[in-house]
A and B are shown apart, each in its own frame.
Chain A
Amino acid sequence: KQEVTQIPAALSVPEGENLVLNCSFTDSAIYNLQWFRQDPGKGLTSLLLIQSSQREQTSGRLNASLDKSSGRSTLYIAASQPGDSATYLCAVEGVQKLVFGTGTRLLVSP
């Protein structure tokens, strides 16, 4: 059974810092991995999608990497801003369909 874990569960940083969010999964037989942002009360916003054949994806200040063999993904956020404050979820798609991680709650203070 696929299990997805995110570390840390919560993170608080001052504005301007670079930070890394971690996601690990137990079954490497995945089709893709996706990082989402969740703002309170709103729907999930897709940030980056990495296909199983890819190693990384970049969008603006975000960079996501995927190491399928070790079951790990990281989301790197450069020069963090208060507007980045949200919960970040990773999700893997495989035989068990879509499995979400536990989430990392990020707070970026001015």
Chain B
Amino acid sequence: DARVTQTPRHKVTEMGQEVTMRCQPILGHNTVFWYRQTMMQGLELLAYFRNRAPLDDSGMPKDRFSAEMPDATLATLKIQPSEPRDSAVYFCASGLVRDGLARPEDTQYFGPGTRLTVL
């Protein structure tokens, strides 16, 4: 049963520390999304990649956040330096866009999330 995995599941850190979250998309999927979920803002798209290239990172604070895909099996989201307002659940999702044509029925598969607390 293929699924998206994320590590760590929980992270507590102090303000100013670097945080790295990792995601392993479903094998064969070519699109990876990073989302942030908070009680007040709900789910927000931070960035997404297609074939490892960033397509849109407009939802991500550029000064402290960075997202990369070192290879097709790993996506990373890094926060440096972290701040208390970054406390949230960070979700990774993956999907497959075939033949370069995204179809309405294409589904995103979500990972379990990383719960980040910055003190």
Contacts and interface: CB of A to CB of B under 8 A. Distances in A.
Interface residues of B, number: 26
B43 A36 contact: yes
A68 interface: no
Per DSSP, chain B at the interface is strand
Nearest to A91: B43
B35 A43 contact: yes
Interface centre among A44, A91, A105 (most CB of B within 10 A): A44
B33 A49 contact: no
Interface residues of A, number: 21
Nearest to A86: B104
A40 B102 contact: yes
20 contacts: A32-B39, A39-B102, A40-B103, A41-B31, A41-B101, A41-B102, A41-B103, A42-B48, A43-B45, A44-B33, A44-B35, A46-B44, A49-B42, A87-B104, A91-B43, A93-B42, A98-B37, A98-B43, A98-B91, A98-B110
Interface of B: 31, 33, 35, 37, 39, 41-45, 48, 50, 56, 89, 91, 95, 97, 101-106, 108, 110, 113
